[in-house]
Amino acid sequence: MMTEIYDLIIVGGGPAGMTAAIYGARAKMRTLLIEKAKHGGQAATTEEVENWPGAGKTTGPDLMKQFREHTEHLGVEMIKEDVARVDLQGDVKVIETRKGNRYEGRAVILAPGAHPRTLGVKGEGPLRGKGVSYCATCDADFFTELDVVVVGSGDAAVEESLYLTKFCESVTMIVLHPEGTMDANKASQERAYANPKIKYVWQSAIEEIKGDGIVESVVLKHLGTGELTEMPTNGVFIFIGTVPNTEFLKDTGLALDPRGYILADPETMATNLDGVFAAGDARQKWLRQIVTAASDGAIAACAAEKYLAEEEHLRSEVLEPKEPVLAVFWSPASKESLDVLSWAEQANTAAGGTFKLARIDLYKSARLAKRYGVTQVPSVLLFVNGEVVDRLEGNFDEFTHWLTEKTAVAAANRR
């Protein structure tokens, strides 16, 4: 049975993946979205969202529900599966899931997202779910009228601390930096400072989380003096950044940075592999927000569409024709390349139309040019059965002669 090949497969159903799916569907690409758990990714467990333009003050779950409805409404095929293995190097990309299903697509957008980073201190693992938490919306309820600490000082740490104050008696932020310095945006910092329930321990880190079955205290280390103090608490919420969900992409030929983030061109989201794009938090980038994830998704989908159009053009005009193909790389800015185009057309017609002519605009098809090692215009490549058999670059003084010769060879081969 022939498997259907998707135009676009998106791995990950967070804001980046869903936005890519919306753009993909609107561009009439046959789009498949694979998400292993809850659509919305990390945003779906972020309670307060106040920087999604146009929404005012909203919540992550609400916003992600709207994303999902929007995506579904456009007819995107969505499946709930966990991707186990990928083969991204060929023209047709293969995605295999843990259930053992296999999906094929001509272009892939990787938007697997990230998960919370762990502190790596003693007691953290055994007390996870026992007072150690990485999700305030999930667990805040348990700490009603109790005291908790929050580790971190970035946007997530401050915003989740504010959320926790709705439940907890006190929220103590453990901040690495000296007094008055936090990594979060200024607006959130000001709200935190104005909230009487939030306290601070500056220039300190957690050394150990203690408790018999449930969290009872944390051991804090002052980074200036090295002094250790034990502080009783009922819960430890950890928001110290994220780790990309790219384990399944290791050793696939895809370029990752040393921390596992996908390296992609910030202009087009293209990775080092043809037809493979990256979007969202799993990409090495400067600002990780819902809005930048959505932006990545939009760019990646448009770049994927362009890639598919180029590939289709290449196949139908250059690789698949039965007759030999003369591919002329040109640019509107190079008069010489326009001359070559016109000579090629005249000479070919005069010689009885031996070749099929393909015009390729170098700048619009930069990736294609790179694939065939074309760096200048004019350049002429002769394809037979999809393979480059000859090329002419640089000096076109003898072009007509060269073309006559190739025509004779082609004619001889046909006989």
> Active-site residues: which are they?
135, 138-139
d(CA 256, CA 263): 5
Give, as ranges, the residues between 188 and 247 that touch other proteins (CB under 8 A): 213-215, 235
Residue 318 CB-density burial (10 A; 0-12 exposed, 13-18 middle, 19+ buried): buried
Residues in the chain: 415
Select the residue interacting with other proteins from 133, 165, 271, 365 (CB under 8 A): 133
Tell me, by CB under 8 A, how many residues bind other proteins. Answer: 26
Q: Residue 245 or residue 337: which is nearer to other proteins going by CB?
A: 245
Dist CA 145 CA 235 (whole Å): 12
CB of 213 to other proteins, least distance (A): 5
37 binds other proteins (CB under 8 A): yes
Strands 5-11 and 77-80: unpaired
x/- map, 39-68, other proteins, by CB under 8 A? -x---xx---------------x-------
Q: How far apart are CB 283 and other proteins at their closest, in Å?
A: 23
Instruction: Work out how close the CB of 218 gets to other proteins at its nearest, in angstroms, rounded to a whole number.
Output: 15
**Residue nearer to other proteins on the CB measure, 80 or 356:** 80
Pick out residues in 270-329 that bind other proteins (CB under 8 A).
none
For other proteins, give the closer residue by CB, 24 or 60.
60
No. of helices (H) and no. of strands (E), the chain: 9, 23
Rank residues 234 and 295 by Cβ distance to other proteins and give the closer one: 234
Mark out the alpha helices in 143-233 (DSSP H runs): 155-164, 186-194
Q: Give, in degrees to the nearest 5, the angle at Cα 50 between 45 and 53.
A: 115
Among 31, 71, 137, 161, binds other proteins (CB under 8 A): 137
* Helix 155-164 with 186-194: angle, nearest 10 deg: 30
Task: Return the range that interacts with other proteins (CB under 8 A); candidates 132-140, 268-276, 363-371, 393-401.
Answer: 132-140
Q: Is residue 281 packed enough to be buried (19+ CB in 10 Å), middle (13-18) or exposed (0-12)?
A: buried
Q: What phi, psi does 397 have (nearest 5°)?
A: -60, -40
CA distance 20 to 280: 10
Q: In the set 5, 27, 74, 135, which binds other proteins (CB under 8 A)?
A: 135
Closest distance to other proteins from the beta carbon of 46 (Å): 10
Beta carbon nearer to other proteins, 137 or 204: 137
Strand order in the sheet with 147-151: 132-133, 235-238, 147-151, 170-174, 198-201
Taking the complex as a whole, the smallest distance from the CB of residue 264 to other proteins amounts, in Å, to 27
The site string for other proteins over 139-168 (x = CB under 8 A, - otherwise) reads xxxx-x------------------------
Q: Which is nearer to other proteins, 126 or 386 (CB)?
A: 126
Q: Which is nearer to other proteins, 84 or 411 (CB)?
A: 84
To 10 degrees, what angle do helices 290-314 and 15-26 make?
40
Q: How far apart are CA 134 and CA 144, in angstroms?
A: 17
Extract the tokens encoding 17: 């993946």
Choices 133-141, 224-232, 308-316, 383-391; region in contact with other proteins by CB under 8 A: 133-141
Which region among 36-44, 105-113, 184-192, 291-299 touches other proteins (by CB under 8 A)?
36-44
Residues in 72-131 that interact with other proteins by CB under 8 A: 115, 128-131
Residue 314 CB-density burial (10 A; 0-12 exposed, 13-18 middle, 19+ buried): buried
Site residues for other proteins per CB under 8 A: 37-38, 40, 44-45, 61, 115, 128-135, 137-142, 144, 213-215, 235
